[in-house]
């Protein structure tokens, strides 16, 4: 995703498999990438994000709607990806061809 947002002329199509859009401290990829979505144009560029069920390994019985309301550290990884996907889906003026899919039966290691 860094290449898409920082060097978008490199490729036309991008795939991110269960990307880490959060980090500790004051650096947050979700905020940075959301700003790029709002401030740049992505004509003829595509991004697909595959989202793993990272909640299953933690024995959390949450669906993708419930996890967006949760604020625990345990759901931070998936929550950031789902939030980014929601932002990307709603931002059509930037011309990014965006799609994502949630893989309920896959974890971070098997989602590929």
- Mean pLDDT estimate for the chain: 89
Q: According to the model, what pLDDT value does residue 25 have? A: 54
Question: pLDDT per residue over 49-94, tens digit each?
Answer: 999 988 776 667 778 888 888 888 888 889 999 999 999 999 999 9
Judged against a pLDDT cut of 80, whether residue 5 lies above it is answered with yes
Find the mean pLDDT for residues 26-52: 91
The set of residues, in sequence order, having a beta carbon less than 8 Å from that of 110 and lying 6+ positions away, is 52
Kindly state the DSSP code that residue 58 receives in the 8-state scheme: G
Q: What angle do CA 3, 8, 29 make, to 5 degrees?
A: 45
pTM, rounded to two decimals: 0.89
Judged against a pLDDT cut of 80, whether residue 26 lies above it is answered with no
Q: How far apart are CA 2 and CA 75, in angstroms?
A: 23
Judged against a pLDDT cut of 70, whether residue 27 lies above it is answered with no
**Structural domain boundaries of the chain?**
2-103
């Amino acid at each position: 995703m860094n290449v898409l947002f920082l060097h978008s002329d490199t490729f036309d199509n991008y795939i991110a498999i269960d990307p880490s859009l959060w980090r500790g401290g004051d650096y947050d990829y979700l905020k940075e990438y959301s700003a790029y979505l709002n401030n740049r144009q992505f004509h003829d560029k595509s991004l697909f994000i595959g989202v793993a069920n990272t909640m299953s390994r933690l024995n959390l019985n949450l669906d993708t709607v419930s996890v967006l309301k949760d604020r625990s550290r345990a759901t931070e990884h998936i929550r950031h990806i789902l939030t980014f996907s929601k932002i990307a889906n709603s931002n059509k003026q930037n011309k990014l061809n965006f799609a994502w899919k949630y893989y309920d039966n896959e974890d971070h290691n098997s989602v590929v």
